Amino acid sequence: SQQGEEDPQALSIQEGENATMNCSYKTSINNLQWYRQNSGRGLVHLILIRSNEREKHSGRLRVTLDTSKKSSSLLITASRAADTASYFCATDSNQAGTALIFGKGTTLSVSS
């Protein structure tokens, strides 16, 4: 079953623009992670934010977490064509140990 749901499902922007993706989840979490997947390839970990954190930065990435709304957002600033990929939020699940529960992802397309 899905825990996280990303919004929008697809996003098309121009190079240099910012991209914002949102994720909502259903149950309480210990942390929330964002992963990137280039077409048909393995997932790459981008950033992890703990439930007691509100904002985290990593390079051009900014993640926010609002546990009261059970939502998170991923902002990619100054997008590049190489950022074209699918982005997934993932949360831990109390029912499945430390396994990750993924949303369906946002497909980002950055054109030059």
Partner 1 sequence: DSGVTQTPKHLITATGQRVTLRCSPRSGDLSVYWYQQSLDQGLQFLIQYYNGEERAKGNILERFSAQQFPDLHSELNLSSLELGDSALYFCASSVIAGLNNEQFFGPGTRLTVL
Instruction: Kindly list the residues in this chain that would bind partner 1 in the complex (CB under 8 A).
Output: 1-2, 30-31, 33, 35, 40-45, 48, 50, 88, 92-93, 96-105
- What's the closest the beta carbon of residue 90 comes to partner 1, in angstroms? 8
- Judged on CB neighbours under 10 Å (0-12, 13-18, 19+), 87 is buried
Whose Cβ is closer to partner 1: residue 6's or residue 83's? 6
Which sign, positive or negative, has the C-alpha torsion 67, 91, 93, 54?
A: negative
Whose Cβ is closer to partner 1: residue 11's or residue 49's? 49
Residue 36 contacts residue 50 (beta carbons within 8 Å): no
Whose Cβ is closer to partner 1: residue 63's or residue 100's? 100
